[in-house]
Amino acid sequence: MFRFIKQIILIGFVFLLGYIFGLKQVRFYRITSSSMEPALQLNDRVATVKLDRILRGMIVVLLDPKGSNDILTKRVIGLPGEKFEVRQGAVYINNEKLDEPYIAEPARYDFARIKIPDNAYMLLGDNRNNSEDSSIWGPVEKQLILGRVFCRYWPIKKLGFFLQP
CA distance 62 to 140: 9
Q: Is residue 67 part of a domain?
A: yes
**Identified catalytic residue from 74, 131, 134, 135:** 74
User: Is residue 69 helix, strand or coil?
Assistant: coil
Question: Could you give the number of structural domains in the chain?
Answer: 1
pLDDT score, position 112? 97
Q: Which one-letter DSSP state was computed for residue 132?
A: -
134 a catalytic residue: no
Q: Which domain holds residue 27?
A: 2-83+101-106+116-161
In the structure, how many helices (H) and strands (E) does the chain have?
2, 12
Bond preceding residue 80 cis, omega within 30 of 0: no
pLDDT per residue as tens digits for the range 23-79: 557 888 999 999 999 999 999 999 998 888 999 999 999 999 998 889 999 999 999
Q: Which one-letter DSSP state was computed for residue 115?
A: E
Q: Is residue 111 part of a domain?
A: no
**Contacts of residue 158, Cβ cutoff 8 Å, sequence gap at least 6:** 41, 44, 152
**Identified catalytic residue from 6, 24, 35, 131:** 35
What's this model's pTM, rounded to 2 decimal places? 0.85
Say if CB 149 and CB 47 are below 8 A apart: yes
pLDDT score, position 132? 95
Q: Is residue 93 part of a domain?
A: no
68 a catalytic residue: no
Q: What CATH number does the domain containing 54 carry?
A: 2.10.109.10
Q: Is residue 154 part of a domain?
A: yes
Question: Using CA atoms in the order 38, 39, 41, 46, what is the torsion angle rounded to 10 degrees?
Answer: 180
Q: Is residue 88 part of a domain?
A: no
Q: How many residues does the chain have?
A: 165
